[in-house]
Amino acid sequence: MQFYPSVNTSFFNINEHPLVSNTVDGVLEKLGGDDILERLKRPNSKWNIDSIYEYVLLTTPLEEIPIGASIKLPDFIKKSKGILSLENIPNNMCLWYCLARHKLSDLRLDRLATKAKELFKSYYTFKPDQSYCGVEMQELDTIENHFDVNINVYRFNGTKAVMERHSKKTLESTLSLNIYTDVDNKLQKCSNERRARDTNPNHKLRGDMMKLIGNAPYGKYIMNFLKHETVKIVGQDTYNKNVRRNNYLGHQDLVEGYEFRFSKTSFKQSLPLHIGFQVYQLAKLRMLQFYYDFIDYYVDRSDFQYCIMDTDSAYFAISGDSLQDVVKPHLLDEFQQQKKYWFGRDDTPANKLYDSRTPGLFKLEYEGDCIISLASKMHYCNEKKFSSKGISKNQNEITKQKYLNALSGNGGQEFINNGFRSYHNQMNTYSLTNTAIKLFNDKRLRVGYETFPTEL
């Protein structure tokens, strides 16, 4: 008998009977009680397995978002005759609605809520409320035992349903739960991982990684393919031919041959360009909403002055010790009710920490008694909080006095930036003198110490 290891990897099909556990020890414990030889028997095979001397475990990290979050399903899923679609379920109760429908298939969909709550109370012994986060994957074993049902979990990845959990039970009734995940869930996962980092030092690496994943896509999505180039190494015999090409950009002599650079003759726009634009535009829209719908509405214009507004931040001065002190008296009660939709909740430290990672809400970055804002990316609050675009902070002494000098009209202050630059396959040092920290602002019209929009 010949044995071909390369074609026998299907014995360990990860989608056939995956083991789910929180720890590696838990996986090994489950493997110890599993008869692998019995599992791998093939009834139609002409040979049998005698022994296994080695095998490899393939591990897959599962989504840590609890099962049950409400989501809007796409039309192709809702119109499918083979799928029972449930969306916009309140209080993370999706699994319980599915279980109620599975047990009572003739029950009308508009009456599922009552039965789902009964099943929930039967298992947890208390009624569901808004604090319920959903079912954890590890709870499914006890839920299966309680309701005598096998629960197989699949997750739709955009093209097909991939199994994430296969029930170890052999009960008569089986519930196949298909979880649909879209971009909103990925963004929610970024926020949840960063919240976990705030409360658990062991999640520091994961939290920082998810911050990077959350911030990186919008820059990637608006990548300019027109700047991409093709590099080609050619010999003397094709030199003239390549110089005459209409997409020729330049070339460099090598020891043997030439390195030519060409622009792309065509490219495939494979990135969701609209997402990158929407991130920037919605961020700017949110800043305008914050100004006109909140600050300008609740605070009189004589009590505040905007100093800086960037894509996702704003610095403004107020005439009181806190924002609440300058709110219009007749709007104070309304301000107390509405501020949680702009700054998040502050009734408890836990809620305040949780909402600090919610997209769209503002948080306090800095407060003080001084700010000198000359232009975009050029402001000074104190020795630790300042911005000086184009000036190396390590090579130049940046002080408050230099910003005051610029405010008084001294625009001739010079700063030196030193560094390295590659040129013609050689590494060179350079020293560049910049005239910076000046009052000139090409985005606003200056009148004295105030600026106004330009009419362009």
Rounded to the nearest angstrom, the gap between the alpha carbon of residue 34 and the centroid of all alpha carbons in its chain is 39
In a domain, 162, yes or no: yes
Strands 314-318 and 372-375: what pairing?
Answer: unpaired
Closest CA to 63 of 161, 179, 216: 179
Same domain, 203 and 115: no
Same domain, 85 and 177: yes
Burial of 100 (0-12, 13-18, 19+ CB in 10 A): buried
Angular region, 379: left φ>0, alpha ψ -120 to 50, beta rest: beta
**Helical H segments across 400-442, by residue range:** 400-407
Same domain, 238 and 253: yes
In a domain, 68, yes or no: no
- The C-alpha torsion from 22 through 26 and 204 to 69, rounded to 10°, is 0
Provide the 10 A C-beta neighbour count for residue 268.
6
**Helical H segments across 246-338, by residue range:** 273-289, 296-298, 332-338
- How would you label 422-433 residue by residue, b for 16+ Cβ within 10 Å and e otherwise? eeeeeeeeeeee
In a domain, 360, yes or no: no
Domain-ending residue, one of 181, 204, 236: 181
Q: Which residues have C-beta within 8 Å of that of residue 452, sequence separation ≥ 6?
A: 444, 445
Query: Side-chain half-sphere of 119: how many Cα atoms within 13 Å?
Result: 23
In a domain, 366, yes or no: no
Helix (H) or strand (E) holding 427: strand 426-435
Instruction: State phi, psi for 398 to the nearest 5 degrees.
Output: -110, 115
**Residue 138 token pair:** 């590890």
Residues (pLDDT < 50) of the chain are 1-15, 183
In a domain, 236, yes or no: yes
Same domain, 2 and 43: yes
Domain-ending residue, one of 324, 355, 386: 355
Identify the domain containing residue 315 by its residue range: 276-355
End-to-end CA distance of the chain: 83
Same domain, 80 and 173: yes
In the chain, the number of structural domains is 6
Q: Please answer whether residues 452 and 306 qualify as being in contact, where contact means their C-beta atoms are separated by less than 8 angstroms.
A: no
Q: Return the sign of the alpha-carbon dihedral for residues 108, 109, 114, 116.
A: positive
Q: What is the pLDDT of residue 303?
A: 95
In a domain, 69, yes or no: no
Q: What is the pLDDT of residue 7?
A: 45
Q: Which residues have C-beta within 8 Å of that of residue 272, sequence separation ≥ 6?
A: 221
Same domain, 379 and 448: yes
pTM confidence score: 0.58
Same domain, 251 and 294: no
- Quote the CA–CA distance of 280 and 256 in Å, as a whole number: 47
Same domain, 55 and 114: no
- Quote the CA–CA distance of 158 and 70 in Å, as a whole number: 18
Is residue 224 classed as helix, strand or coil in its secondary structure? coil
Q: What is the pLDDT of residue 44?
A: 56
Same domain, 447 and 376: yes
Q: Return the sign of the alpha-carbon dihedral for residues 206, 211, 215, 216.
A: negative
Provide the 10 A C-beta neighbour count for residue 299.
22
In a domain, 269, yes or no: no
Q: Return the sign of the alpha-carbon dihedral for residues 236, 240, 246, 252.
A: positive
Which residue reads 């005698």 in tokens? Answer: 50
Q: Which residues have C-beta within 8 Å of that of residue 427, sequence separation ≥ 6?
A: 420, 421
Same domain, 288 and 332: yes
In a domain, 271, yes or no: no
Same domain, 177 and 80: yes
Is residue 363 classed as helix, strand or coil in its secondary structure? coil
Q: What is the pLDDT of residue 319?
A: 93
Closest CA to 339 of 330, 329, 327: 327
Q: What is the pLDDT of residue 6?
A: 43
